[in-house]
Amino acid sequence: MFDEWVKKEHKTLQTAADKRCFIASCVYGLEAPQTERLRQWRDDSLAHKFGGSLFINTYYRLVTSIARVLGKHEGLKTVVRGMLDCLLRRL
């Protein structure tokens, strides 16, 4: 079921102007405040810098594979959530 969600979201991602935050959506939820904050940071800060744009492009090339792994391993999802929580506290 999760693989189907990833495939659907990836297809949406390819055409959407507001690219999804796959990993944040996976660990927090699609409409969670944390996911929204990370989207905002991506759009307002990262997207306007060369290194940020490079990171975003790389992220979207790798993200479906990462999201599939996270969807199958709750412990790994917890670790990633902790890392994102640290990032969110700094933003």
- The answer to whether position 2 is within a domain reads no
DSSP, residue by residue, the chain: -HHHHHHHHHHHHHH-SS---HHHHHHT-TT-HHHHHHHHHHHHTGGGSHHHHHHHHHHHHHHHHHHHHHHH-HHHHHHHHHHHHHHHHH-
Give the number of domains in the chain: 1
d(CA 58, CA 4): 22
d(CA 55, CA 53): 5
pLDDT of residue 4: 64
- The answer to whether position 18 is within a domain reads no
- The answer to whether position 80 is within a domain reads yes
- pTM of the entire structure? 0.73
- The answer to whether position 11 is within a domain reads no
| Mean pLDDT (the chain, rounded) | 82
Q: What confidence tens digit (pLDDT) does each residue in 14-41 have?
A: 434 446 788 998 899 988 999 999 999 9
Give the residue, 73 or 11, on which the prediction is more confident: 73
Residue-number span of the structural domain to which 61 is assigned: 34-91
